[in-house]
Each structure stands twice: as C-alpha cells, then as structure tokens.
Structure 1
Amino acid sequence: MTRKGLTFPEDAVSNGRVGTARIRAQIGATAAALASPEPAPLMAPLLGMAAPKRSKYSNEKCVVDGIKFDSRREAACWVVLRSQEAQGHITDLRRQVRFEIAPPAVIQGRKRPARYYVADFVYQRSDEEVIEDVKGHLTAEYRLKRHLMAAKGLTITEVK
C-alpha cells in the first residue's frame, strides 16, 4: 500500500492507520519486560537498581594471607616483599604506616586536625628506611602528599 509517497506492506495497515498494531505490540512487550522480576541487563541501571559497582580507578580489592588489600598489584607487592624478608634481603616490613605531613592548625577560629600520608609498605634495606607506595594512577592529592613528604626529607618509592 502507498500513502503520501510512502510504501507499506499490507499487513502493516490496520483500520486505515499505519503501524498502530505494531506499536501497541511493542508497548505491550516493553511493559511485560519491565514487569518481569529480572530486568534486562542494560535496564537495571536505568531503573535505579544496583548495578555492579566499579571502583574509580578499576582496582579490585583482594585478600592475601588473611589481609585485605586495595588492589591486586598491592597484594602482589606484599607477596614479593614477604619473600624478600624471608630471604633476609629486607627487615622490619610493615603495612599502612602513617606519617604526619602537617600538624594540627587553627583556621578561621576552628581547630583543624593533623594531616597524614599513609604508606603502603615501609621496610629496612641495609641501613636505609624505604617507603613504598603502589600506584596505578597519580592523583593531585597524592602529588601534594609526596611533595610534603619530600619537604620533610622522606622519599617515596613508587611501584607502578
């Protein structure tokens, strides 16, 4: 059938209106899909349902030796450092060590707490203390903390 210069198949025409039956069928199918207990995978985020949470920098938390790590890379470094400690190459291996980088201060009449940098690993190699941080992405906050640590005479070894 041809209408206003357009050609439609014969089964598309219903009661002089083109495509209404097809549109009604699509609306019915959509309503049925929305009413089903399990939404389509792409519809879940649109419907406000909890989609799988992805971290900001795509790191995956994991557990090694009963210890929780923020990323697989950090866990792998822990395994390597533990083996180096067992072989005697390093000593006094510690995790999540806090360093004060700014003392408490009064700002506009309000007392503000001290600011800290938390190193992933700290250990002794020979007579030197090594501060090690596993980084996948260098943030502006980390660069500032690295700068403040350097101002205190402490160097951070970055593992990428």
Structure 2
Amino acid sequence: MISIKSKYNSKKTEIKGIKFDSKTEGEFYLYLCELEKQGLIKDIILQEKLILQEGFKKDGKTFRPITYSVDFTFTDRENNIIRIDVKGMETQQGNLKRKMYEYKYKEPLYWVAKSKKYGNEYGWIDYDELKKKRREAKKEVVA
C-alpha cells in the first residue's frame, strides 16, 4: 500500500493496483469486495463519471459540462443501482454537486463515512446520520 497526502489531509492509497484518493476510500473498496464475495452486491464500478449539466455555448463562449465522479457504483441483490461517495468532510462544492445529482438522477446517492464510535460493525455510517449523531452528542456535552 502506497500513501501520498492530498489537500484535505487525506492520503492517496493504492490497493490491489488501484489508486484511491484516500485511505478510507480504499478501505471502503475492500468492504465492497467482501460484500460482492458474499453475493450481496455485484458489478462494482469505480469513479463513474456523471454529467450533472450539459456543456453549452453562449455568446461565442463554450462552457464545459459539469460532471460528478462518484466513488463507487454497484448493483444490489434486487438489481437496484447504488451510488456511494466516501466522505471525510463535506465541502461547498460537494454539497452543490450532490444537490444537482439529486435533481437529475433517480438512483440514490449515499455519502458514507468511517466512524469507530458511531458506525456499523465495520465502522461505516451514512454521512448525514453521522452529522446528526455528532450534533446530538455535542448538545449532551453542553447541557
């Protein structure tokens, strides 16, 4: 496993010859591989590039399309397409692209994070749920 730091203090990692933007993203890939081995999911796609807004021309100027690369796409046992982005933190750009995705695509997009304190047996938790749990814990400390 090779690691290189990025702008969000995450370490780029290589697992099974595949480069991931963060160690956590690589760990989630291994988690998905295990689910695939158990027959719970299939057809894992890495970094699927989706168009959120088409490119266009206006007043002689060309505007490129707005795209979103989803970390993982796979099919569940009921043949539903599931898209997942692994998050360490949210950004304004990420929130905007998530909103645009939700407007354009019917398939769910989940943001997941790793949390030993709040996650499942493997540490994974829905990012919005993690934010909620952290807010509640903060309120308890203040009270």
Q: What is the TM-score of this pair, normalised by structure 1? A: 0.64
Conservation of the 8 A alpha-carbon contact between 2:13 and 2:19 = yes
Aligned to 1:159: 112
Distance in 1 between the 2:44 and 2:6 partners?
Answer: 28
Residue correspondence of structure 1 range 16-27 to structure 2 within 5 A: none
2:59 counterpart of 1:121 = no
> Which of 12, 17, 22 is the equivalent residue of 1:66?
17
Distance in 2 between the 1:158 and 1:60 partners? 19
> Structure 2 unaligned runs (5+)?
114-143
Residue by residue over 1:108-153, the C-alpha shift from the partner in whole angstroms, topping out at 9 and shown as x without a partner, is: 4201111110000000012211000000111111111101110013
Aligned to 2:118: none
Give the 5 Å matches for 1:95-134: 95-125=46-76, 126-134=78-86
- Residues 141 and 107 (structure 1 numbering): CA distance in 2 closer, same or farther, change over 3 Å? farther
Residue matched to 1:141: 93
Matched residue, 2:129: none
The structure in which a higher percent of residues are strand is 2
Tell me the matched-pair count: 108
Larger Rg: 1
Alignment partner of 1:79 is 2:30: yes
Work out the CA distance in 1 between the residues paired with 2:89 and 2:51: 23
In structure 2, what is the Cα distance between the partners aligned to 1:70 and 1:63? 9
User: Structure 1 stretches (4+) deviating beyond 3 angstroms?
Assistant: none
Cα root mean square deviation, aligned: 1.4
Looking at both structures, which has the greater relative contact order when contacts are Cα pairs under 8 Å and sequence separation is at least 6?
2
Q: Gaps spanning 5+ residues in structure 1: where? A: 1-52
1-side partners of 2:29 and 2:89: how far apart? 19
- SS of the residue 1:61 aligns to: strand
* Structure 2: distance between partners of 1:139 and 1:119: 15
Counterpart in the other structure of 1:9: none
User: Take 1:87 and 1:156, find their aligned partners in 2: how far apart are those partners?
Assistant: 23
